[in-house]
Structure 1
Amino acid sequence: MSTKLRNKELNVVEEKQPVSGSSMLIKALAKEGVDVIFGYPGGAILPTYDEIYKSGIRHILARHEQGAIHAAEGYARVSGKPGVCIVTSGPGATNVVTGIADALIDSLPLVVITGQVATSVIGTDAFQEADMIGITMPITKHNFQVRTIEDLPRIMKEAFHIATTGRPGPVLIDLPKDVSVATGFFDYDKEVDLPGYQPTVVPNKLQIRKLAEAVAEAKKPCILSGAGVLHAHAYDELFEYAEKMRIPVASTLLGLGAFPGEHELFLGMAGMHGTYVANMAIHQSDLLISIGARFDDRLTGALQHFAPSAKIAHIDIDPAEIGKNVETHIPVVGDAKAALKMLLEENGSAGETGVWLAELDKMKAEYPLWYKEDGETIKPQKLMEVIYEVTNGEAIVTTDVGQHQMWAAQFLKFNKPNRWVTSGGLGTMGFGFPAAIGAQFAEPHTPVISILGDAGFQMTAQELSILQDLNLPVKIIIVNNSSLGMVRQWQQLFYEERYSNSVFNTQPNFVKLAEAYDVKGMRIDKVEDVKGALEEALAHDGPVLMDFRVTQVENVYPMIAPGKGQHEMEGIKP
């Protein structure tokens, strides 16, 4: 018998030997093509970490579990693959709850593995016990608790299937310690069989035909592009369809990058701080085609004023979203890519949109985004323009939540998909920096810029240790206005300038903080130094933290005030 054949037979025998639950977990991750895990060890999950040590699989040690799960989110958003996060029981598990909720509302595929106390003491308030099934039931796409070793391979396979199919989302696996050390046989070859979970991928042909007929009749059509276009990898089809039918495209906050930001048909972001032309195009449209968008309140404004003259078509893989907030006339349940392909194959005629496009071009010229420069202080809008200039729009950009997030969405242009990483539905401060770490692991050779507020950065600043450990070349840009900028703006506009706990009297020295982690730190106070500082940072082969001191009393405009419609924008002109 040849050595090669003998080794092959030995491998077969070895695979039939019983292995521990922790070993099964690692084998399942390998089968799913997982190349990086973000996490933090602790008592209940130690058997799994012992297997991680022996396996050689890449693990990134966050300095707080919130950092781990936001990094997994950033990885998922950029790579399109599920982000994997592993933490221990009790406080380790509860520290990832915010990230799980964030991923659910923003449709990010995650597999979150939490350690749990032994099955024999579950329900006894054992040390570091928390009911993660009960806690996360409303904020996961699905959750599992592994009660027997025989169930573990099936649960792992189902978890990845559920997280990545249909509308993506987070799935939690709660792993009791005794199950992780028990032994059994690893069988990962069985097909996933979930009769109650069968997402509709291919849309109904009759509904596609109705939509094609509506497009042919429309004089003022508008496409609203949401994150679902990105999740479905449907950007090429969207581009082809919009150009073929000569339909303008507005974007949601999370949909930025699905359609080229510099294209003549692109209107910009719609919603509370969207462009005037994007909001007015929706308001005046006679046909609104929403693709993979949720019609959330920050987009629509007052619902009674939303697209009042439009026939509304809604393409979404999640049927629960269709008709939830806005009455839908043409519902299309299915994958965005499949729907757009079917629309292209339908080969319907385009409506006469020339006059409509000319009207929108006139609006673009008359009501552009604006800000006033004073020639001395750094205006945050100017900072965004220079960031776009020096990166040539090629960088992956992550943000935290607040004014800087809106200025980035307004003034940066995203011509490629999956270059924009932000927290939308939950609006999670502390998200932006660890998400940049995950994004950098997803695309190691692409520049990653993390644009943060001075407040949000302090919520997860400890993750500078990862940059220190790995010399990860993330460039941190702190838009420092010494305040909770968006809170201060709302207090100015709606609370008679009562700035309750929104302005900082003291701050850390961010440059010294960076240097404490052996990260290059820079402070920039003058507008004439902005471009040079950014170019210097981008040329540096390691991480850089830049503290840009910007105008404190600067508001994000235009704006749809609470209770107003999209046609009632304020601050559309200086």
Structure 2
Amino acid sequence: MGTATRRMTVAQAIVEYLSKQYTVDRISHHDVRERLIPGTFGIFGHGNVAGIGQALKQYQQLDPTIMPYYQGRNEQAQVHQAVGYARHTRRRQTFAISASIGPGSSNMLTGAALATTNRLPVLLLPSDTFATRVADPVLQQLEQPYAYDLTVNDAFRPLSKFFDRVSRPEQIFSAFHNGLRVLTDPAETGAVTISLPQDVQAEALDVPEEFLAEREWRIRRPDADHDDIRRAVEAIRSAKRPLVIAGGGVLYAYANDELARFTELTGIPVGYTQAGVGVLPWDSQYCLGAIGSTGTTAANAIAAEADLIIGIGTRYEDFTTASRTAFQNPDVKFININVAPIDAYKHGTSLPIVADARKALVKLNQALGRSYRVGADLQEQIASEKARWDATVDEVFDKRFAPLPSQNGIIGATNRAMDSQDVVVCAAGSLPGDLHKMWRIRNPFGYHVEYAFSCMGYEIPGGLGIKRAALAEAAAGGEDRDVVVMVGDGSYLMMHTELVTAVAERIKLIVVLIQNHGYASIGALSESLGSQRFGTQYRELNEERHSFDEGETLPVDLALNAESLGVRVFRIEPGEKAIAELEQAVRDAKAAPDHSGPILIHIESDPLLDAPSSESWWDVPVSQVSDIESTQQAYQAYTDHKSRQQKLLR
């Protein structure tokens, strides 16, 4: 007997197939089963309107729950929404995004890079030119005389963890099976891109029922090798000044409780990366806070003298290692625990452990028991350094400036007004570094700063994706979370239009918009490099000098801009009461009903009031020769820091 089949288009088969895919993840001794693709985003053009667009409409008429469709205002922003959703669901769920050919699809390139850099799953379905070439060249087709099979979508190849092009209908079976294998693999996940020529999307084929049946993708969590654990235990027992660096892998593995148990058993302190914020509450006895270039003085002081670094779920990016200057003990050794081999073996470590963070920590805790404890001298230093840093943050949170407040005070007020389960969101500018070192985290889901790609414009669409996930979480009986986006005017202007999406769906997203009339982060960096904040201020053009550095501040009203999009806006006026009024505004926004739509709180800040120093460094090259005195001085400081840079972590 032959296999039962159904006659349908390629696009219809894809939509129904995606509606039947589930992830299964074992958490705390029970399986969690969820839809891998709970919905599809799409902006339609001639490339997908008759393919994926028609299929989504057909299934919406049949049953809207089969594959819910969501609008967006920009294809890149749709990818950001999916990434935010994926991060909050701990990589068990994400969205598919359909785009038309040419600019629609290429708009997703930045989103693909962000997803892959952050190791977060997203399924991209860019439309492509005719596979048959019956219409050639078609509108928006890229023509290259040396390779006529090359299309715009080939630009996704280096940005994706998996890429395929469905040039014939029957190729969907292998393309999607292999694509979803990568999408659900913790060690390999990122952007999965399956290019769909517009004629193939609408073409019919006989689809086997087995392709359309429900399928489960079990999240793979490899265990640690016993010999690796034995060697790690020996290294820990020999260490006098060990330190844990915890990254996002701890959160994705739900390893928080095991990490807390590890610190309680051993007394070993923890510094966390941007992705690892939330692995321990900020006031935990063993939590040193952020580490590296945007770290706390506590974490960096302990790191400088550490003789053993236990990296768990971190990819050791340059901010984490302070561009390889953070660890100054000549005898320091590294244990790298990571589900991804590329990270476990990074920087020439002497002991890589390729394993799930939770499973590795369980074995370490069992093997160590109470046989090891750090010395009293290190315990005293941990307490002293924590107290010093906490006092520093208290001071900058409480210090008042007029007429314009500091960003430190704005962060402190927002932090105080939010509940422990709420989520703060950010991505680019000066805010991520300041949040990393000063945000007082109380919940493992409470901090979402996209800093692997640090993409300007991510904040609002990413926050919208997180809020979608939070609403689904609450509907399933989980915690009720508000999502608060903190964004500067530079990032806001890049991609604020997704506020319209929140208005259309009446999603309460709280946005704290800090207007400092320029790029505060790069302005400060430019000044430190001797370039005097060149090109980083929003000013009118001085035509005589052709300079944007001396003109009048631009007469831009971003609060009014948000109001014009249908957003409810609170304006915080400059003055001594600004911080208190901001704190109350956040509380008032939180009190609004969940389906009342987005709320924006507008406040101005003084970009010249810096956050407290991390007593660390970040390697950004300085001009070796210059006629500008400030650049000459910056180069001397640069060479001093370079002298402390290590070639490898060991």
> TM-score with structure 1 length normalisation?
0.90
1:336 and 2:357 aligned: yes
Q: 8 Å contact 1:303–1:565 — kept in the other structure?
A: no
Report the Cα offset of residue 246 of structure 1. 1.9
Among 140, 164, 187, the alignment partner of 2:160 is 140
1:90 and 2:145 aligned: no
- CA 1:132/1:335 → structure 2, altered by over 3 Å: closer, same or farther? farther
Report the Cα offset of residue 148 of structure 1. 2.2
Letter in structure 2 aligned against 1:166: P
Letter in structure 2 aligned against 1:266: C
- CA 1:346/1:125 → structure 2, altered by over 3 Å: closer, same or farther? farther
Q: Deviations over 1:62-84 (max 9, x none)?
A: 11111111111111111122332
Alignment of 1:225-304 (within 5 A): 225-303=246-324
- CA 1:45/1:15 → structure 2, altered by over 3 Å: closer, same or farther? farther
Partner of 1:513: 561
Partner of 1:114: 126
Give 3-state SS (helix, strand or coil) of 1:29's partner: helix
Report the Cα offset of residue 557 of structure 1. 3.3
1:78 and 2:113 aligned: no
Q: 8 Å contact 1:19–1:184 — kept in the other structure?
A: yes
Among 234, 240, 246, the alignment partner of 1:213 is 234
Give 3-state SS (helix, strand or coil) of 1:119's partner: coil
Q: 8 Å contact 1:257–1:418 — kept in the other structure?
A: yes
Letter in structure 2 aligned against 1:49: G
Report the Cα offset of residue 507 of structure 1. 5.0
1:487 and 2:533 aligned: no
Partner of 2:184: 164
Give 3-state SS (helix, strand or coil) of 2:48's partner: helix
Q: How many residues align?
A: 553
1:383 and 2:438 aligned: no
Letter in structure 1 aligned against 2:425: T
Q: 8 Å contact 2:39–2:70 — kept in the other structure?
A: yes
Partner of 2:607: 552
Letter in structure 1 aligned against 2:80: H
Letter in structure 2 aligned against 1:188: F
Q: Distance in 2 between matches of 1:42 and 1:240?
A: 54
Q: Distance in 2 between matches of 1:334 and 1:414?
A: 27
- CA 1:97/1:230 → structure 2, altered by over 3 Å: closer, same or farther? same
- CA 1:407/1:553 → structure 2, altered by over 3 Å: closer, same or farther? same
Q: Deviations over 1:436-462 (max 9, x none)?
A: 110111111420101101110111111
Report the Cα offset of residue 327 of structure 1. 3.0
Report the Cα offset of residue 15 of structure 1. 6.9
> TM-score with structure 2 length normalisation?
0.80
Letter in structure 2 aligned against 1:529: E
Q: 8 Å contact 1:305–1:565 — kept in the other structure?
A: no
1:17 and 2:29 aligned: no
Partner of 1:531: 583
Q: Distance in 1 between matches of 2:176 and 2:234?
A: 44
1:28 and 2:32 aligned: no
Partner of 1:435: 462
Instruction: Name the Cα RMSD after superposition.
Output: 2.8
Letter in structure 2 aligned against 1:482: H
Q: 8 Å contact 1:166–1:317 — kept in the other structure?
A: yes
Report the Cα offset of residue 241 of structure 1. 2.0
Q: Distance in 2 between matches of 1:40 and 1:62?
A: 7
Report the Cα offset of residue 497 of structure 1. 2.1
Report the Cα offset of residue 30 of structure 1. 0.7
Among 46, 52, 59, the alignment partner of 1:48 is 52
Q: Deviations over 1:120-141 (max 9, x none)?
A: 1299653223535531221111
Report the Cα offset of residue 476 of structure 1. 0.5
Letter in structure 2 aligned against 1:255: G
- CA 1:307/1:296 → structure 2, altered by over 3 Å: closer, same or farther? farther
**Which structure has more helix as a fraction of its residues?**
1
Give 3-state SS (helix, strand or coil) of 1:260's partner: coil
Letter in structure 1 aligned against 2:357: A
Give 3-state SS (helix, strand or coil) of 2:288's partner: strand
Report the Cα offset of residue 302 of structure 1. 4.0
Partner of 2:116: 104
Partner of 2:445: 418
Q: Distance in 2 between matches of 1:278 and 1:95?
A: 39
Q: Distance in 1 between matches of 2:242 and 2:135?
A: 57
Unaligned runs of 5+ in 2: 22-34, 143-150, 472-479, 540-552, 620-639, 646-650
Letter in structure 2 aligned against 1:71: Q
Partner of 1:9: none
